[in-house]
Amino acid sequence: MTTPLLSQEEALQKRDQLVNDGFCIVPGVLRGEQLEEVRAFSDDLLDRRKVDPKHRYQGSDFHVGAMRLQGTPRAVHCAEFSPIVDRLIDIPEAWEVCRLLGLEGQKPDDMIIILSKPPFGLPLYWHQDMLNWNHPEATSPWPTRIFLSYYTTDTTLENGCLRIIPGTHRKRIPLHDLLPPAHGPEIQAITDLSHPAFQDHPDAIDVPVKAGDLVINDARVLHAARGNSTPDRRTLVLQWHSIFPCPQVPSWWRGEIPEAIRNYDPTLTYEYTRTPGEHLK
């Protein structure tokens, strides 16, 4: 018998953190040869391909599809495909972690995004990545869209670790109203790093991790990354998953269910927007 990655008690504590703070970390999920394989793959891709200057704050933004994505409509978002991506998305330990946390109805996007910070690379602006703020799912107290992150090196305050403002996935703060939509032309055009998108925030926390730790984030939480002040590249390999498809309520949920979800009408459609509206109080 191998030791489980998380005890039941730890899993509940991680789930509470994901629900309340908007993120949690499970150590040592991507390991050994598979971690080496992902590191070598991302290094090779980053050596081969040129970063568009508009991605200078993200460091890079390369989408790589799973082999099984080929021939589907979403394949258009990827310039290349690799079986390494299928293997990375399918890691049994990661699925076991998600099962232990009670993430239900989970569906991966079948692609990864390589976000590298080059040596001495810039910090990343504060942002959140929810695309569907008009939809009733945006009111959900549980996550419905998550990104699973593996960093291929240890991350530190010096090489560009992730930063998070806990709780901002469900609670509006003044910063929300000062931020241009994430990864769009307006935020990418900022040249003055004294803009609020790059300022420290009293409630921000640093999230340094070890290579191969699994970071699970709610798409709605405000996050950023420190700049890289070292001569070594810092790479993040990120994957998107949908969970609890609206109006599905987690089997373990004991709290209130928002009215917008209780009254969900599947025949209505909502325009995509990255800007939080009335669903973020």
Ligand X SMILES: O=C(O)CCC(=O)C(=O)O
- The least distance separating ligand X from the CB of residue 22, rounded to whole angstroms, comes to 12
- The least distance separating ligand X from the CB of residue 160, rounded to whole angstroms, comes to 7
Of 104, 102, 108, residue with least CA distance to 14 = 102
Interacting residues with ligand X between 175 and 234 (CB under 6 A): 223, 225
Interacting residues with ligand X between 32 and 61 (CB under 6 A): 58
Question: Applying CB under 6 A, which of residues 43, 96, 129, 154 lies at the interface with ligand X?
Answer: 129
- The least distance separating ligand X from the CB of residue 271, rounded to whole angstroms, comes to 21
Cα distance between residue 191 and residue 3, in whole Å: 49
- The least distance separating ligand X from the CB of residue 238, rounded to whole angstroms, comes to 7
Residue 93 or 129 with smaller CB distance to Fe ion: 129
Of 171, 240, 161, residue with least CA distance to 21 = 171
Asked if 129 interacts with Fe ion (CB under 5 A), we say yes
Query: In this structure, what token pair is assigned to residue 196?
Result: 């609020």
Asked if 162 interacts with ligand X (CB under 6 A), we say yes
The strand ranges marked E within 122-270 are 124-127, 145-151, 162-164, 205-207, 214-218, 223-225, 234-242
Residue 10 or 61 with smaller CB distance to ligand X: 61
How far is residue 222 from each of residues 83, 169, 227, 272, measured CA to CA in Å?
32, 7, 17, 18
- The least distance separating Fe ion from the CB of residue 175, rounded to whole angstroms, comes to 15
Asked if 61 interacts with Fe ion (CB under 5 A), we say no
Cα distance between residue 103 and residue 229, in whole Å: 36
Residue 11 or 148 with smaller CB distance to Fe ion: 148
User: What residue ranges bind ligand X (CB under 6 A)?
Assistant: 58, 115, 124, 129, 162, 223, 225, 236
